[in-house]
Amino acid sequence: MKIIMLGAPGAGKGTQAKMIADKYQIPHVSTGDIFRANIKNGTELGKKAKTYMDAGELVPDELTVDLLMDRISQPDCANGYVLDGFPRTIPQAECLEKALEERQEAVDFAIDVEVPDDSIIKRMSGRRACLNCGATYHIVHIPTKVEGICDRCGSPLVLRDDDRPETVKNRLAVYHQQTRPLIDFYSSRKVLHEVDGTQSMEKVFADIVKVLGE
């Protein structure tokens, strides 16, 4: 099962992708997490990516596409995966489609998690992220058991540099300009399914399971 998560930054793609990965036993592949791991480890890629990420811009396709293609060629992706944060541009979607076509494969489901922009700004300022294991929480909606500490791995949580309100506004503008056109792209491939992302995370997940099947 090859699944793509679509939706604005902060719509809940990562939250849902982790739940999908657990239920269907497929890897959760997040390009944002891969970049953040590179930043944490001080790699050249991390240094390059950070300048774009901190400004709320997209990392250029040249740095992103090969990285993602390498990841989905790993043995653990043989039975499928859930992509979170990729593709984010039409050229990225075309590269993915071409690479899959070469193996007589295609994306099975593109799940669009819909949340209006005004709710997004509130969600992002309350998001707290674990840079160690990739878990995300919300200070009001999805709190941790101990404030500021990751439930999963015990590491301290941070407000991501790119979740500050000034940067979020630019990320939303970039989303509407460069990523939103993917809705039409996947609709024309007949794999698009929209879910209402303003509901509780459990309800959003139940709607996704209706699409993917038990």
Query: What are the catalytic residues?
Result: 13, 88, 127, 160, 171
Query: Which member of 53, 107, 130, 157 binds ligand AMP (CB under 6 A)?
Result: 53
Q: Are 167 and 52 in contact (CB under 8 A)?
A: no
Among 11, 34, 93, 174, binds ligand ADP (CB under 6 A): 11
Task: Tell me which of 88, 123, 128, 138 binds ligand AMP, using CB under 6 A.
Answer: 88
CB of 107 to ligand ADP, least distance (A): 18
Give CA–CA dist 66/14, Å, rounded: 21
H runs (alpha helix) in the chain: 13-24, 31-40, 44-54, 61-72, 90-101, 117-126, 165-174, 182-188, 201-212
Rounded CA-CA distance 212/99 in Å is 23
- Residue ranges in 88-127 that form contacts with ligand ADP under rule CB under 6 A: 123, 126-127
Query: Is residue 14 a contact residue for ligand ADP (CB under 6 A)?
Result: yes
Residue 141 interacting partner from ligand AMP, ligand ADP, none (CB closer than 5 to 8 Å by kind): ligand ADP
How many of the other CB atoms lie within 10 Å of CB of 126?
16
Residue 60: CB atoms within 10 Å: 12
Applying CB under 6 A, which residues contact ligand ADP? Answer: 7, 9-15, 123, 126-127, 136-138, 141-142, 200-201, 204
